[in-house]
Amino acid sequence: MTSAPEGHRADVTSPGTEPSIVSTTVFALSPGGGNPCPVVLDADPLEGDEMRAIAASHQQETGCVLRPTRPDADVRLRFFVPNHEMEMCVHATIAALTVLRSRGLLVEDELVVETAIGLLAVTVDGSDGGAAPTVRVEQRRPEVTPVDLDPAELARVLGLDARAIDPGLPIESVSTARAKLMVPLTDHRELDAVEPRLEELWALADRAGATGVYAFTTSPRHHGTAADARQFPVRAGYPEDPATGVAACALGAYLSTHTSGGDRAGDRRSFRIEQGHAMGRPSVLVARTLVEDDVVSRTWIEGSATVDS
């Protein structure tokens, strides 16, 4: 992590201004796709419970923009789902920075964002011709935890036959921000057929120390895509996400370790990951990794947002 250059920071909040909510959509693959995300501007006067209540009223993950408390940060973000606060949310980060950029409040291409998991380096590729900028959020070096879960039990809880679990890939808990249980399936048809028993699935995620279950397949529906995926967050207040940056980033690290897929350029790898098809909200995320001496040493996730209102 490198600190932002001195002397370029703008005020991202206006003292005395009432909080306001801007609607955005993040990671959309096509019209009607992507993950909706409310962004709360000027959120400093709000208590945590009030921010969570906004997420509950929208039934969506919500990003809140605050003045940074660290001198080396450009902006501070807090993230909420209807039931609780989260340490990190990539798509809300992309949404918030896109809104701030559209208002001329953060115009630099390299930023430092203060979050509950620490300072994160973010790169914003400038938009041309009115197109939404591409935002790349750096995450952590992956932490991998083997799990002792019966694949047949996991398949049953997902509403699948045991043969739907891909025997060629491991079931692991992987974190580049928040731990996700990686569950490999044989193809996208099995992925689309998942009908989870949520309480039982959450119990399995608890056993794995994961905050969600990321079922995926490396036999996706579209050529050029590394994986299709679905994310089932644990007790978030809704059953499934259309697009999940922290999970896709962890999957990128997983795929870098266990497969030869993705695009490669020297020691850098990238993976196009699609999500949300089963929800009717097709989404696309790009996970990037740096692999040094056969070990994933850095991770990023990137995508874009549109400002809806």
Shared domain for 54 and 148, answered yes or no, is no
Radius of gyration of the chain (CA): 19
The per-residue pLDDT for 6 is: 44
**Number of domains, the chain:** 2
How much is the average pLDDT of 180-206? 98
Last residue of one domain, picked from the residues 90, 115, 138: 138
How many helices and strands in the chain, by DSSP H and E?
6, 17
Query: Do 165 and 69 fall within a single domain?
Result: no
Q: What percent of the chain has pLDDT over 90?
A: 92
Q: The CATH number of the domain where 61 resides is what?
A: 3.10.310.10
pLDDT tens, position by position, 74-127: 999 999 999 999 999 999 999 999 999 999 999 999 999 999 999 999 999 976
Checking if the pLDDT of 283 tops 90, the result is yes
Same domain, yes or no: 163 and 258: yes
Site of tokens 């896709």? 248
Whether residue 238 is contained in a domain is answered as yes
Q: Which domain holds residue 228?
A: 143-307
Give yes or no: residues 165 and 254 share one domain.
yes
pLDDT range class, residue 47, cuts 50, 70, 90: very high
pTM of the model: 0.94
Residues 209 and 96 in one domain: no
Given a cut of 90, whether residue 42 has pLDDT beyond it is yes
The reply to whether 293 and 167 lie within a common domain is: yes
Beta-strand ranges (E) seen in 180-248 are 180-185, 212-217, 227-233
Q: Of 138, 164, 196, which residue sits at a domain end?
A: 138
> Based on the domain organization, do 57 and 184 belong to the same domain?
no
Domain end call among 138, 154, 173:
138
Asked whether residue 5 is assigned to any structural domain, the reply reads no
